[in-house]
Structure 1
Amino acid sequence: MIKNVAKALSYVFHPLLIPTLGFLLLMNSSFYFTLISFEAKKFILLIVLMSTLVLPLISIGLMMLTTRFKLNLDKASDRIIPMLNTAIFYYLGFYFLGKLPIFPIYKLMLISSVLTIAILLLITIRWKISAHMAAIGGLIGIFLALSLRLNFNGSLLLSVLLLVAGLVGTSRILLQKHSPQQVYAGFVIGLLVNSLVILLV
């Protein structure tokens, strides 16, 4: 039962779903840059959904259909090509968002994700770090940085996200997908990279 719950949490808060979740949360927050039309929000979400979920999943699916690639994402080395493809698709999303007359925060959210994946990719060459925790840590970093930069009280949202991070991290350990060190490292990298991009850019 516990492992089934852990698996469900890993699927619901999968790294490829976190960007869309982040954009949805941002668009329904009280920040001034949410004051854009509903049509604009739909178009932005479509770009994010395609570049951060649909295209990476299609890419992984196609690799699994070939005999050349024997993907076992439990192995660090087998994560390199999927992560590289994912970084490229994320950057495409950033590129297309850059063509739209929208607030910079939407573009910064994707480029910070690209930077996070690039760092994870370098680490993954030698060590299997948790992408799940980097994703949720990045989401927390974004909203923490926005709260600090705009003097906004986001304690409730941040508390919920921290609870989710704890549950996801525990799930990854229970499923024996990562060690505690890999979970903590992923969270810290996601948190630092995304918060610094929002605070400094």
Structure 2
Amino acid sequence: MISREKSIIYTARVVSLIFTPFYLPLVGLVIMFLFSYMNLLPWEYRLMVLTLVYFFTILLPTFLIHLYRRVQGWTRMELGHKRRRIIPYVLSIVCYLTCLYVLESLHIYHFVSSIVIGALVVQVMCAFINIWWKISTHTAAIGGVAGALFVFADIFGFNPVWWFCLVFAVAGVLGSARMILRQHSLSQVVGGFGVGFVCATLGIIFL
């Protein structure tokens, strides 16, 4: 029984690490590069954009937050306390703003920047809500993916049903993992998904 519980907890940790809250812009770009006119762009250009976005929105914030946690001497679980999440939010927001600055400096298509802005809106909203109520940024990210998919399906005219099935399945597994690790309650998980969906949808539509 103990071994089985350890396996479940280990699996939940792996799921949380794989589906980091920072993957929203990268997934949005992959969808756009697959289903929009941008699939006609040279693969070198698309690879460059994906690499830039990966560095500034996933690799850099993950490294900085890990470094901050090590300096403070906290475990991943201890970093999950509401008051200790403020600095990680600030670090990720700064990384996203830096990404936008680099994209604008290189005159990358505005549509690419709008995806990053949509993800930034999700981060800012989660940081704001976290002042009063601990919300799941993991499920906010997957909610953002669902929102981006909803918008892109309408703009580019493709059938998103199977993609939605995949996103909702991942959201269910991810939300369960966060609750198994006792990082969030059901309301925080569902609330995070809703915030991510709404922010990403409105952010991409109006920007």
> How high is the TM-score relative to the length of structure 2?
0.87
Matching residue of 2:131: 125
Q: Where do 1:21-170 residues align within 5 Å? A: 21-27=27-33, 29-66=34-71, 72-170=78-176
Cα contact 1:138–1:190 (8 A) shared by 2? yes
**What one-letter code is carried by the residue in structure 2 that aligns with 1:106?**
V
Cα contact 2:122–2:196 (8 A) shared by 1? yes
The runs of at least 4 aligned residues of structure 1 exceeding 4 Å deviation read none
Cα contact 1:128–1:182 (8 A) shared by 2? yes
Instruction: Single out whichever of 177-186 and 30-39 deviates more from structure 2.
Output: 30-39
Cα contact 1:146–1:199 (8 A) shared by 2? no
Instruction: Go from structure 1 to structure 2 and tell me whether the alpha carbon gap of 1:126 and 1:70 turns closer, same or farther (over 3 Å shift).
Output: farther
Aligned length: 199
RMSD over aligned Cα atoms = 1.9
- Alpha-carbon distance, 1:62 to partner: 3.1
Higher-helix-fraction structure: 2
Q: Which runs of 5+ in 1 are unaligned?
A: none
Spell out, residue by residue over 1:106-131, the C-alpha distance to the aligned partner (whole angstroms, 9 max, x if none).
11110111111111111111221000
Spell out, residue by residue over 1:148-184, the C-alpha distance to the aligned partner (whole angstroms, 9 max, x if none).
2333212111211111111111111122110001001
- Alpha-carbon distance, 1:70 to partner: 5.4
Cα contact 2:86–2:127 (8 A) shared by 1? yes
Provide the C-alpha distance between the structure 2 equivalents of 1:88 and 1:34, rounded to a whole number of angstroms: 30
Provide the C-alpha distance between the structure 1 equivalents of 2:70 and 2:8, rounded to a whole number of angstroms: 32
Cα contact 1:146–1:198 (8 A) shared by 2? no
Spell out, residue by residue over 1:69-112, the C-alpha distance to the aligned partner (whole angstroms, 9 max, x if none).
85732201101011111011011112211233443321111011
Provide the C-alpha distance between the structure 2 equivalents of 1:83 and 1:36, rounded to a whole number of angstroms: 34
Cα contact 2:24–2:119 (8 A) shared by 1? no
